[in-house]
Amino acid sequence: MISKFKWQTLVLCLLAFSSVEALEPATKALKTVSERFQEGQVESPSFRLHVVPLLGRMGCSGRACHGAFKGQGGFQLSLFGYNFKKDHEALMGGDDPRIELDDTEESLILLKPTGLEKHGGKKIMRLDSWQYNILKKWIAEGAKDDSKAVGEFKKLEVIPQEIIFKKPGQTVQLKVFAHWSDGKVEDVTQIARFRTNDDAVATVSPEGLITSKSRGDTHVVAFYDNGITPIPVMYPITDLTGKAYPKVKTSTEVDRLVVEKLKKIGVTPSEKASDAEFLRRVTLDVTGSLPAPKDIESFLTDRSPDKRKKKIDELLESPAYAAWWTTKVCDVTGNNARNQGDNLYRDEFSRQWYDWVYKRVDENMPYDKIVEGIVLASSRKEDQNYEDFTVEMSSYLRDKKPQSFADRPDLPHYWSRRNMRKPEEKALNFSYAFLGVRLQCAQCHKHPFDQWSQEDFKHFQAFFEPIQYGYNREQDRNQFLAVQKDFGAGLGMEMGMNGPNMKNMSAEDKRKTRKQLEEEFKKRVAQGKSAPWKEVYVQRSKLYDPDRNKSSKRGKKYKKRKSRGNRVLTPVILGGEEVVTAQFRDSRIPLMEWLKDSDNPYFARSFVNRVWANYFGRGIIEPADDMNLANPPSNEKLLAHLEQGFIKNNYDIKWLHREILNSDTYQRSWKPNKTNKLDKKNFSHASLRRIEAEVVMDILDQATCGSQDQKTIRAEIEKRSTGPAQSKYRNRNAGYGLTIFGKPARQTTCDCERSNDPTLLQTIYTRNDDDLWKKIENPKGWLGEIAKAEGETLNTVKNYKARASQRKKRNQEMKKAWEQLKKLRGVPGKTAAKKRQKIQKRLELLRSGKDAKSKKKRASSQPMPKPEELVREAFLRTVSRPPSAKELALGVEDLKKADSLTAGTRDLLWALLNTKEFILNH
């Protein structure tokens, strides 16, 4: 017989969501934890299955209590209770044990939570409660640690799997079931933990009761043991759901999956963007450029139905596309001149890095192959000796006919960086760059929102222990000494394994010796000769081999270290199995095989998500570099479609771009309708985005350059901020502008290093920074062309500051003239009348802004552009569209009122560069 409570729950579930999967018979009949451990029940509680989760549910192992870094009251548990051994030892031992086996009821773990002993956390449990019974019975039966005996946790099932509310205040009770490898299934709802990702949409009680609050969609997440399961929770924005939802065209599978989600939440998408909006957006997104004025006019007059598709293909074949997306890859992989391994060639190494990536992006090399060239990179080829390696390295930097570093099959610079020397740094950067996973939390404790524990991190870190940067003394020792000896001979110095002996030198002599060594090194490199280069290599003695570790001298050292608490850990792939790396010549080979496995849950998905974020201002998983179980995608089916298609198409990057760019979803207008004006994560309209720092610098050049440079300035990547120039260690060109507009320093493992937020300094920069005025008033730029046609030279056209000074001087003269005229009023006589007439003429001249002494304009052979043409060109150059009739009329009126067409155009151009329409990608 079904109880009244269960009937109410069932009815609410049926009302709250359109389709709910029925409980499986196996789980339907399961008793709850409270039913199983009532007073008088004979079932034995488990330390791992019941005690540890219960302590977590009551908050004992949380951050604010005994799970804190130093614990509380001399008692510490592992954060979130996932170090079973540590927690069991803490309960049983120490100066103040919480367990009394001889007198169960005197155990502090029972006395403090029930308030019978002073407790900072106050009373959280009653003496007659099932919680008390679990702890009491476990202690009475010996308080055993059964964490290994219970088997492996398999999955956490939450029912219902999706909730759609109909009104605020409605509630649904979650049911949580733990599945174990031996087939055991338990109802753990009452000892699971819950969290809502947006409490403005829905709240969840400690018991798992979800309450609808307001319209929107979010996820509620259930936690138990190593299981984390999110459940989509929605309260439709409007009543336009189900059959009431209007018919929306879905041109692609991307559109179908986006609209499928929008239909559930009652949101209709915006209309498609105009051709001008689309062209500007796609050109900025794909190439980091503005469309040239001629390209805009050509596109707007083109009537072919597939012109957008053709434009996308055209942009993906341009040098600017390869340059901009190389910059994106360099952001994620950390190409920073400051951190390059070799101090003498920081800029050169950074440029080599850029060129290596650019070549592969330009060729559309499959993404997995690009990553393989980075992940498996070593400085030497497999059979190359040290001397040949040093000559090869010098050949890339020699003065005469240097070899192309981009032609190398791999990129060792990724592993030689100064912030990638420690194994943990390598592990963190690898997981960030190629998995989109943040592992920093797991360095110290259990990840709060994912399955990774500190032990998992240490096992993963073990893959990177053998990867070294320096002098490989294990291999070709004699050749290394020979290169050192030859190098020292040029300086008359005796060189050993570690260079010259400077032990007894003074600080000044050491400085001079180091300078000599650097100069000799550069000299030999410039000639393409051998020099003692450092290298990225695999230290084979650090490859994990359980058999060698048991019997060898090194194995004895390992045992000694283990006894001190520094265990040598077996490399284990995240969420996978352990690997004996000694079976491979390189410990990174099994990692790369795991990345390329089609079942890898991170590799393809993280790249797809980052590309999507570039086009929409946010990822399907947001933040795009924080993929964890408690941060689910806003549209799982959409992300899965793109991920599987990317893998199926052999990691073809351009396929991914086309799949997104050709969708109506990408091509929608930024202008919202009544249903989607608050939508930020379901892609029902385009988002307004501040343009990226490098692109801002480039488009300022593109908007102000000469007409003849419109094509070349986009194609010549050497001079562009999205090109290789900005990766130099000390680059003062545009450095200030790039910094204030949020260019990432590439120092940390976080996409958040790039900031697209608006700031006051950005506004000041576009208002009156000298760099901006130099671009606008460049004699070789567009304004210089107009001045030449008008018969002026830009030397006589005053910049903003000069004009301000001129206005101030004119105002002072006008004030003086008015005072003189005031004194002469009412004064009789012809002389006074002549003076008044002269002063009035002077006032009229000052009011007009003209100077009677100004030079006449020189004659020009070039045709003078009409004001209408100049206004139209200014709009096309900046906001990438023709002006409206009203904008055209106002612009022409202002140009006619100006001192000259050059001055008027300068003011118009400056004004357009300071509009939101220019600085935002829309």
- Using CB atoms within 10 A of its CB, is residue 724 exposed (0-12), middle (13-18) or buried (19+)? buried
Contact 278, 662 (CB under 8 A): no
895/906 Cα distance (integer angstroms): 10
Task: Kindly tell me if the per-residue pLDDT of 586 is higher than 60.
Answer: yes
- Which residue intervals of 365-422 are DSSP H helices? 367-375, 386-395, 413-416
pLDDT score of 569: 75
Of 170, 149, 172, residue with least CA distance to 159? 172
Distance separating alpha carbons of residues 79 and 68, to the nearest angstrom = 7
Q: Check pLDDT > 50 for residue 19.
A: no
Give the tens place of pLDDT for each residue, 101-147: 888 888 888 988 888 888 877 888 898 899 999 999 999 999 999 98
Of 605-614, 721-730, 913-922, least confident by mean pLDDT is 721-730
Q: Rounded mean pLDDT of 574-599?
A: 89
Task: Determine contact, residues 169/13, Cβ cutoff 8 Å.
Answer: no
pLDDT at 560: 40
Sheet holding 175-180, edge to edge: 153-159, 175-180, 185-187
Residue 353 has a pLDDT of: 95
d(CA 883, CA 897): 19
Q: Is the peptide bond before 623 cis (omega within 30 degrees of 0)?
A: yes
The amino acid present at 399, given as its one-letter code, is D
* pLDDT for 12 beyond 50: no
Tokens at 889, concatenated: 């009329």
Whole-number Å distance between alpha carbons of 889 and 208: 63
| Distance separating alpha carbons of residues 619 and 657, to the nearest angstrom | 14
Across the range 150-159, mean pLDDT stands at 92
Residue 21, class by beta-carbon neighbours within 10 Å (0-12 exposed, 13-18 middle, 19+ buried)?
A: exposed
CA atoms within 13 A on the CB side of 538: 21
What pLDDT was estimated at residue 185?
94
Residue that wins the pLDDT comparison between 685 and 835: 685
Structure letter (DSSP) for residue 844 = H
Q: What pLDDT is recorded for position 799? A: 52
Q: How many CA atoms lie within 13 A of 210 on its CB side?
A: 41
In single-letter form, the type of residue at position 749 comes to T
Which pLDDT tens digit goes with each residue over 837-870? Answer: 888 888 888 776 655 444 445 555 567 889 999 9
CA distance 354 to 344: 18
- Map tokens 């006619």 to a residue: 896
Residue 691 has pLDDT above 90, yes or no: yes
SS3 253: helix
Beta pairing, strands 185-187 & 689-690: unpaired
Residue 18, pLDDT above cutoff 60: no
pLDDT class of 732 with cuts at 50, 70, 90: very low
The string of pLDDT tens digits covering residues 888-921 is 999 999 999 988 899 999 999 999 999 999 999 9
pLDDT in tens, 230-265: 999 999 999 999 899 999 999 999 999 999 999 999
Q: Does residue 4 register a pLDDT over 50? A: no
- Note the maximum CA span of the chain: 126
Most confident of 458-462, 779-783, 884-888: 884-888
Question: H or E stretch including 196?
Answer: strand 193-196
Say if residue 270's pLDDT is above 90. yes
Handedness of CA 71, 72, 74, 75 (dihedral sign): negative
pLDDT per residue as tens digits for the range 469-494: 988 877 777 777 888 778 777 777 77
What are the phi and psi torsion angles at 232 (to 5°)? -65, 135
- Name the amino acid, one letter, at 217: D
Q: Which residues are bridge partners to 231 per DSSP?
A: 220
- Cα–Cα dist 418/645, whole Å: 37
Partnered with residue 209 across adjacent β-strands are 173
Segment among 12-26, 185-199, 321-335 with least mean pLDDT:
12-26
Q: Output DSSP code: residue 155.
A: E
Closest CA to 634 of 251, 914, 285, 216: 216
Q: Is the pLDDT of residue 66 over 70?
A: yes
Confidence of residue 714 (pLDDT cuts 50, 70, 90): confident
User: What are the tens digits of pLDDT across the range 442-454?
Assistant: 777 666 776 777 7
Q: Which residue bears the tokens 């009789």?
A: 828
pLDDT band for position 17 (50/70/90)?
A: very low
- Give pLDDT, residue 836: 83
Q: Please give the residue that has the higher pLDDT: either 571 or 178.
A: 178
Give 210's strand partners. Answer: 172, 204
The DSSP secondary structure of 518-558, one letter per residue, reads: HHHHHHHHHTT------EEEE-GGGS--HHHHHHSHHHHHH
Residues facing 212 on adjacent strands: 202
Contact present, 442 and 456 (Cβ < 8 Å)? yes
Please, what is the angle between helix 253-265 and helix 636-648, to 10°? 170
Say how far apart CA 364 and CA 499 lie, in whole Å.
44
Q: Is the peptide bond prior to 160 cis by the omega test (within 30 degrees of 0)?
A: yes
564 falls in which pLDDT band (50, 70, 90)?
very low
* CA atoms of 429 and 423, how far apart (whole Å): 10
Burial (CB count within 10 angstroms: exposed 0-12, middle 13-18, buried 19+), residue 425: middle
Instruction: Give the tens place of pLDDT for each residue, 157-173.
Output: 999 999 999 999 999 99
| pLDDT average, residue stretch 582-590 | 89
Q: Which of 4-8, 220-224, 730-734, 767-771 has the lowest mean pLDDT?
A: 4-8
Q: How confident is the model at residue 552 (pLDDT cuts 50, 70, 90)?
A: very low
Average pLDDT, integer, range 423-436: 93
Please tell me whether the peptide bond between 412 and the residue prior to it is cis, using omega within 30 degrees of 0. Answer: no
Query: In whole angstroms, what is the distance from residue 913 CA to residue 901 CA?
Result: 18
How far is it, in rounded angstroms, from Cα 199 to Cα 222? 15
What is the model's pLDDT at position 95? Answer: 66
* Angle between helix 653-661 and helix 636-648 axes, rounded to 10 deg: 140
At 513 the pLDDT is 81
- Taking CA atoms, 542 is separated from 328, 423, 629, 820, in Å, by 34, 12, 33, 93
Rounded to the nearest 10 degrees, the angle between the axes of helix 653-661 and helix 275-287 is 160
**Using N-to-C axis directions, what is the helix angle for 782-790 and 867-878, rounded to 10°?**
170
User: CA 520, CA 306: separation in Å to the nearest integer?
Assistant: 61
Nearest to 334 by CA among 422, 433, 411, 467: 433
Torsion, CA 81, CA 83, CA 84, CA 85, rounded to 10: -140
- Percent of the chain at pLDDT above 70? 89
pTM across the whole model: 0.86
- The pLDDT-based confidence of 834 (bands split at 50, 70, 90) is confident
Q: What percent of the chain has pLDDT over 90?
A: 53
Coil, helix or strand for 658? helix
pLDDT band at 28 (very low <50, low <70, confident <90, very high): low
Residue 791, token pair as written in the block = 């018969």
43 pLDDT band (50/70/90 cuts)? confident
Cα separations in angstroms, 422 against 36, 417, 462:
50, 10, 11
pLDDT of residue 514: 84
How does the average pLDDT of the chain come out, rounded?
A: 86
Tell me if 239 sits within 8 A of 651, measured CB to CB: no
Q: What is the pLDDT of residue 481?
A: 81
